[in-house]
Amino acid sequence: MYLPNEGNFEVSIRKEGAACEKFQFSLEKVLSYKQQKQEALRSEHAEILALVRAQEALVESRWERYREYSVEYRERCGRGLPMTEVLVYQSGLRAMEREIQSETMRLEQLRERAESKRKEVVAAKQETTAIEKVREKKARDYQKALEKSEEAFIEEFVSTSRVRAAAN
């Protein structure tokens, strides 16, 4: 007896009673590709998050250096500071502010990249999960069809045995 292939699995049973069943999911290669893609995206996301953390540390260190320089400037101003040194300190503070602003903008760009990559990871996970659910459903359908064909084979065997027994 042979059950027709519905495209996603195949079932064949020999008349002698030995079952040759084999579940084949037609989208297995697609699923494998999607899983690899998902892992690659996760890896990329992790790399970007590491860059974000490093950039956050850099910005914080720049702010700390700025605060220390500012405290030093105020202390020296309190004790009296020549105008040339005041200009040097103010110029240094402005340069640090520009650097902090630049590094903060870079941090925001990295955060945006991380969020974009996170969305890609979520989308890839959804695609993979959808295909996995289809595979699970097809496997259940396959199992049901296999059980049904086995039951039909047993019924055929029993009826054939009865006919032979009655004929003797």
**pLDDT tens track, the chain, 168 positions:** 333 444 443 434 344 444 456 788 888 899 899 999 999 999 999 999 999 999 999 999 999 999 999 999 999 999 988 999 999 999 999 999 999 999 999 999 999 999 999 999 999 999 999 999 999 999 999 999 899 999 999 988 888 888 888 777
Nearest to 129 by CA among 38, 61, 45, 19: 38
CA dist 17 to 21, 156, 157, 159, Å? Answer: 12, 10, 9, 14
Q: How many CA atoms lie within 13 A of 127 on its CB side?
A: 17
Long-range Cβ contacts of 133-137 (<8 Å, 24+ apart): 134/27, 135/25, 135/27, 135/28, 135/31
Model's pTM, two decimal places?
Answer: 0.69
Structure confidence at residue 21 (pLDDT): 63
Structure confidence at residue 3 (pLDDT): 39
Distance of CA 69 to the CA centre of its chain: 44
Q: Which strands sit side by side in the sheet containing 2-3, from one edge to the other?
A: 2-3, 10-13, 19-22
> Which tokens belong to 152?
């039909």
Nearest to 96 by CA among 135, 76, 122, 70: 70
Structure confidence at residue 137 (pLDDT): 92
> Which tokens belong to 93?
């503070």
CA dist 139 to 3, 71, 123, Å? Answer: 15, 70, 24
List phi, psi (to 5°) of 20.
-120, 80
What are residue 21's DSSP bridge partners?
A: 11
Separation CA 79–CA 116 (nearest Å): 52
